Amino acid sequence: MTEADVTYADVKFTTPRSRGNVAAENSTYSEVKISNKRQPVCSNCSANIQQSGSSRRSKVTPERLVLLGLVVLLAAALIALGVTFVQTNQNLQTLKEEKETLKETLSDIKPGSKSSTTACPTCPTSPTCPKPPTCPTCPPPPPTPAVKRETRLKCEAGWEKHGGNCYYFSTTKSSWINSRRSCVDHGSDLVKIDSREEQKFLEIRLRVLMVEDDDKFWIGLTDSVEEGRWFWVDGSPLDESLSFWSQNEPDDWKGENPAGEDCVRMGERGGSHDLTCWFDKACNVSHKSICEKPAAPGRPCV
């Protein structure tokens, strides 16, 4: 036994004291051997323990195997995805090339293109040159434009031309009947308004010609034959979609004439809202008037 394998200690044994006597303490020293190393129970136990520890350290767990399998599958999926992406790009490039080729082919066979034009050769005038074959894809030659002849329309002095008609704005005031007679003497009649465009032309012109608010002009509209039924001087009924009555008109007011108001005048000096400037009025009141007749054909021009 070596010195390192022995540990010395003092062991003190105490004898209990009695109540009356105090015994002296007796100390006994003995040698106690304490080994720092545990001795194996058997000779093979130490080797078995070492082998068991090393086997635990080297053992592969199922969790590690599953994780390794997932890593392998993920790597394979990434490789497959990369291969598919490369193939798709190649297919797209091939489709683009085929599309461009198809466009070029279609442009070659399209009528009027350079290819189709060259397919129909032209031959200069020569007795030795054969007649070129007929090409079904060649467009027909454009027709020879015909000489267009237009007829100029004209109006007499003092009349204003608009569209195909001539208008005379009379500044002489007279009754509706006398105003119509004056128009007839000039080969015309009181104006008949057939369109919104014509109403706009007249309404704008009257703004300049009117001196005061009541300085209005007779037009060829009346209900003197039957109250409430309006007719133009040519006998045609009024188209309600082309009527331009001012607000609250017609009202057939009988304050000036017991017969009421059976003739129509028009005009607003400051302009009217939405061209509405028609007013019914007693036919015997004196007003200016508008005459209308077709424009006369003048010298044709080319």
Structure confidence at residue 25 (pLDDT): 46
Structure confidence at residue 231 (pLDDT): 98
Tokens of 202: 């007249």
pLDDT higher than 50, residue 118:
no
- Measured distance CA(159)–CA(179) in Å, rounded: 16
Q: Looking at per-residue confidence, does 24 or 250 come out higher?
A: 250
Share of the chain above pLDDT 90, in %: 46
Q: Band the pLDDT of 284: cuts 50, 70, 90.
A: very high
**pTM for the full predicted model:** 0.51
pLDDT higher than 90, residue 45:
no
Residues 153, 293 contacting (CB under 8 angstroms): no
Q: Band the pLDDT of 51: cuts 50, 70, 90.
A: low
Structure confidence at residue 142 (pLDDT): 63
Least confident of 20-29, 272-281, 293-302: 20-29
Beta carbons within 10 angstroms of residue 279's beta carbon: 20
Q: Band the pLDDT of 263: cuts 50, 70, 90.
A: very high
pLDDT higher than 50, residue 74:
yes
Structure confidence at residue 251 (pLDDT): 94
Q: How far is CA 26 from CA 29, 31, 162, in A?
A: 10, 17, 155
Q: Per-residue pLDDT averaged across 248-271, rounded?
A: 94
Tokens of 140: 């027909």
Mean pLDDT in the chain? 77
Q: Looking at per-residue confidence, does 158 or 6 come out higher?
A: 158
Taking only the tens place, the pLDDT of each residue in 202-215 is 999 999 999 999 99
139: Cα within 13 Å, side-chain hemisphere: 10
Q: Looking at per-residue confidence, does 86 or 141 come out higher?
A: 86
Residues in CB range of 139: below 8 A, 6 or more apart: 111, 112
Q: Looking at per-residue confidence, does 276 or 58 come out higher?
A: 276
Structure confidence at residue 85 (pLDDT): 79
Domains and CATH numbers, the chain: 154-301 (3.10.100.10)
List alpha helices for the chain, DSSP H.
45-58, 62-109, 114-119, 176-185, 196-209
Least confident of 42-56, 92-106, 174-188, 241-255: 42-56
Taking only the tens place, the pLDDT of each residue in 185-195 is 999 999 999 99
